[in-house]
Each structure stands twice: as structure tokens, then as C-alpha cells.
Amino acid sequence: MTHSDKFVELTKIYSDIFVDVESFSIKLSYKRPTSVWNWIDGLNPNSKNRAKIAEFFNLKTDIWIEDFISTSSFKRRIESGEFDILPKRDNLENIDQYIYGEKIEMLDTLEYKDKPLALFHYAKELKSKNRAKEALEIIEKIEESNSSYKYNNHNQIAHLKAILLSHERVQEWDRALDILKKLYSSAKYHLKEPEIVTLIASNYKRKALYNAKKELHNSIEEIDINLLVQAYSLYKEAYRLKDSQQKYYDAVNYAYIHNIIDTIEYEYAEKEELKKLYKELHRVWQIDANSWWEVSSNAEFLMLLGDIDLAITEINYFLDTNSVDKFEIETTLRQLKIYRHFTKDKNGIKLYNHLKEALNYLKI
């Protein structure tokens, strides 16, 4: 099999991760999908791209070195887990047994150069399980190492560290901002990864709305309006930079801050700008009806526009037809709690109370 043949087969085996050429190109930080199309059409990816592809699919680079007599034998051995850097996600329920240093039996079978990569994947796995503090310890372990991986992947490691420092369970916003500002100015990294702009905006927003004890300010008079305006501008910048299906997050955060600033300065929220933004967003954004984040964000936007009945209808339909994680609803509630606290908007209060009742009713 050629390298191109192997890549094509990997896109089939991991179709849920690959999704399509355009989204895979974005995940690999390519501005255009030309390279990925070329690999599918028979052009072999070069050594750097082979390493990227293997890492993305959680595979050792041995897959490119070894000869396979057929696609069926390749598929069989890939699916066996023989080439996995980490255990399959299904085997990570007892992840604690893998985490620290010498306790990681699987890592002891790897050459040292592969260990930081494995640790990085573990940190991402812990983050996905909402275990930010443990993931942060893993990232700091990588930073203490002398590996070439640390130097070759500095931006990616710093990016993940900033996400973890920003996390609700860590809340080290200033440390996160120090990292994020460097990434923003580092070879225009934020153009490849516009989430950097979103993270800066999010941390400015938190610093504006919370006091030194990480508690919400008691009144709108205590809000740092300058930081809030910076967050407002940065959410708009992130909205412009992101691809169509990712714009919604920044749009709804922009809308929240828009209403809070208007409440501070005018005692009411002007809707015309938000109506235009909502229409513009929906020209490019196809809502995934099975995603809580997308459906709830749309409902929140509708609430911010004053259409509370439609917002609640959309939430109810999702809850009737889909399963939802407690953490997901609690995250939405946290956003609504901030909004109702500062604006006293009756629609925000109504949506917040409705979700609280739903959470109790569902007994998640």
C-alpha cells in the first residue's frame, strides 16, 4: 500500500473523526483543503504530514513504515489497537491507572521520545472529562521535560495550557492571559487558531464581571467597563475569523455583552444590531439539532432578542428528543446566571428558571 492508500483507508476507519476534507484541513491548520484532496487522489503525504496525520488519529508513525499486503489487513491491524498511542476511548473509563509518571505501564513500553506525545493526549482526554486540574498537572509535566516534542509543539502545548488555566475549576485568568497574548502575537497563531481570540475575550469578560475572590460583582457599577468592551470587540473579531459552523459561540457571547453594556449605559438593551447579527449568522450556520451547545446557544440568542417563548420551545423540543449531560446544562445556566444578575432581564430570569426546573425534572 502507498502512503496515499493508507491515508484514504484511515479516513474510512475514522470517518467520525475525519468527517470531511474541509473540516479535516481546518483541524490540521491548513488554510485550503488542496493538500488533503491531493492525498486522496494519490499523492503521498510528505514525512511531516504523515506525522501529523498519525498523531491526529492517535496512531504511532509505524503505520507508515510497515508494509501491508492489502487494505483489509491494514484495516484489521489498525482496528486491533496495535498502533494506538493511547488506549481506545472505550478503555479510558479507569483512566486514573494510566495517569502519573511511572504508574503509566503503557508509557513504559514506549520510547522516551513518544512519552510527551502520549501525555499530551492524556491531558486532552482529562480535559474532555472536565478534570482540568489533573490535565494541567500533565501539561506542566511535559513542560518540565527535555523532549524535542515540547519545543516542536510549543504553541499547541501553550494553547491547551491556557484553556485549562481558564477553566471554571482552575480560574487562573491572569496566567491564561499571559500565555494567550503571546500566542496571539506569535507568527499570527490566532489566525490559524481563532479560539485564541475567543479565550482572550472570555478571560477579559471574567475579569470584568468577577471580583478578586472570583465572585460576581454585586452591582453593574462595580463592573470594569473597559475590560468588558475589550471582550466585546474580541468576540466580534473571533466571530469574523472562525468558519461558519463555529461562529455561533462568539456571536451569542457578543450578544450577551452587548445587552449588559447597554444596561449599564442606557438601562435598556437596544436590539437592532443583534437582529442583524442573528440574521447574518443564520445565513451561514446550519444548527446541529443533536448538539446541546448549538441548540441552547440559538435559544439564548432568541432570549436576548426578546423571543423567550420560541427560546423555551426550542429547549423543550431538544430535551424531549435528545439526551443531555448535566455539565452541559449547568454551563448554560452559569451564563444565564451572570446575565440575569447584572441586567435583571425578565426573559433571562425566565429561561434560567425554566432550565433549573428541567434539570431537577430530568434528575440527571
Name the residue ranges covered by the structural domains of the chain.
1-84, 85-169
Asked if residue 110 has pLDDT above 60, the reply is no
Give the mean pLDDT of 279-292: 95
pLDDT confidence bin for 18, thresholds 50/70/90: confident
- State residue 94's pLDDT score: 42
CA 119 to chain centre: 19
Q: What secondary structure letter does DSSP report for 220?
A: G
- State residue 364's pLDDT score: 62
Q: What is the CA radius of gyration of the chain?
A: 23
Long-range contacts of range 308-315, CB-CB < 8 Å, 24 or more positions apart? 308/347, 308/350, 308/351, 311/347, 311/351, 312/350, 312/351, 312/354, 315/351, 315/354, 315/355, 315/358
Cell of 206: 471574567
What percent of the residues of the chain are helix, what percent strand, and what percent coil, each to the nearest 5?
70, 0, 25
Asked if residue 126 has pLDDT above 90, the reply is no
Give the mean pLDDT of 150-174: 94
- State residue 106's pLDDT score: 44
Which one of 87-96, 182-191, 278-287 scores highest in mean pLDDT?
278-287
Asked if residue 178 has pLDDT above 60, the reply is yes
Give the mean pLDDT of 236-251: 94
Asked if residue 40 has pLDDT above 50, the reply is yes
Cα–Cα distances in angstroms (integers) from residue 334 to residues 257, 297, 328, 355, in the given order: 14, 13, 10, 11
- State residue 55's pLDDT score: 79
- State residue 113's pLDDT score: 43
- State residue 28's pLDDT score: 75
Long-range contacts of range 288-291, CB-CB < 8 Å, 24 or more positions apart? 289/318, 290/322
In 3D space, the residue among 122, 228, 210, 101 whose CA is nearest the CA of residue 166 turns out to be 210
Cell of 341: 444578575
Give the mean pLDDT of 39-68: 85
In this prediction the pTM is 0.71
Give the mean pLDDT of 272-299: 95
Asked if residue 261 has pLDDT above 70, the reply is yes
| Residues β-bridged to residue 132 | none
Question: Which region among 23-37, 226-240, 295-309, 327-341 has the lowest average model confidence (pLDDT)?
Answer: 23-37
How many residues make up the chain in this entry?
A: 364
Q: By the 8 A CB rule, do 132 and 169 touch? A: yes
- State residue 238's pLDDT score: 94
Question: Which region among 98-107, 133-142, 162-171, 321-330 has the lowest average model confidence (pLDDT)?
Answer: 98-107
Mean pLDDT value across the chain:
87
Q: What secondary structure letter does DSSP report for 363?
A: T
Asked if residue 348 has pLDDT above 70, the reply is yes
- State residue 97's pLDDT score: 41
Asked if residue 87 has pLDDT above 60, the reply is no
Q: Which residue has the higher pLDDT, 146 or 76?
A: 76
pLDDT confidence bin for 99, thresholds 50/70/90: very low
Give the angle 170-252-233 at the CA atoms, nearest 5°.
Answer: 80
Cell of 6: 493508507
Q: Kindly state the percentage of the chain with pLDDT values over 70.
A: 90
Q: How far apart are CA 296 and CA 332, in angstroms?
A: 7
- State residue 288's pLDDT score: 94
Sign of the C-alpha dihedral computed for residues 58, 88, 6 and 15 taken in this order: negative
- State residue 111's pLDDT score: 45
| Residues β-bridged to residue 59 | 84
Give the mean pLDDT of 158-184: 95
- State residue 56's pLDDT score: 80
Q: Is 65 exposed, middle or buried (0-12, 13-18, 19+ CB in 10 A)?
A: exposed
